[in-house]
Amino acid sequence: MSHTTRENAPVPPPMPPRELRLRTNVHGTVFAARRAVVNRLEPGQPLLLVPDPPQEDEPPAVWVHVAGGDVLGHLPVQVAAWLAPWMLAGGRVQARVRHVHGDDVASWNRIEIEMERSDDGSAPDGD
């Protein structure tokens, strides 16, 4: 997803608010051996968010990892669309597990995390 003006000139991605605190779900938790990772999660557990490098034919992605590097899943595309470019420009976010639902909840809604902007309050572009 690129952000353009009417003249198709690139413009910077939207910036998250200075007081970013966002709750979202983790998607993609049913692939590979991720179920075992999900079963080890505890509320309050810190997570690592890793943006994918930009790709022409793919929307931005932000992967969610647990300590030790195991992949838990990825953020919804609606969040990654603005968060990935911002993080790739130097923005920092802390994330923690907020809630883990049981197997009776759809996989895309099972893991709730909370993210908080962790930089000094200035945007990577100096804002």
The pLDDT tens digits along the chain (127 residues) read: 444 444 554 444 555 566 678 899 999 988 888 888 888 999 999 999 999 987 888 888 999 999 988 999 999 998 998 889 888 988 888 999 999 998 888 888 899 999 998 765 444 444 4
126, part of any domain: no
In a domain, 20, yes or no: no
Residue 22 lies in a domain: no
Q: Do 82 and 14 touch, CB atoms closer than 8 A?
A: yes
Measured CA to CA, the distance from residue 121 to residue 127 in angstroms comes to 9
DSSP conformation class of 58: S
Is 125 a domain residue? no
What domain range is 47 assigned to? 33-117
DSSP 34-50: HHHHHHT--TT-EEEEE
The verdict on residue 3 lying in a domain is no
CATH number for the domain including 88? Answer: 3.30.70
Return d(Cα 114, Cα 93) in angstroms, integer. 10
- For the entire predicted model, the pTM comes to 0.77
Question: How many domains is the chain built from?
Answer: 1
Q: Look at residue 26 and tell me if it is in a domain.
A: no
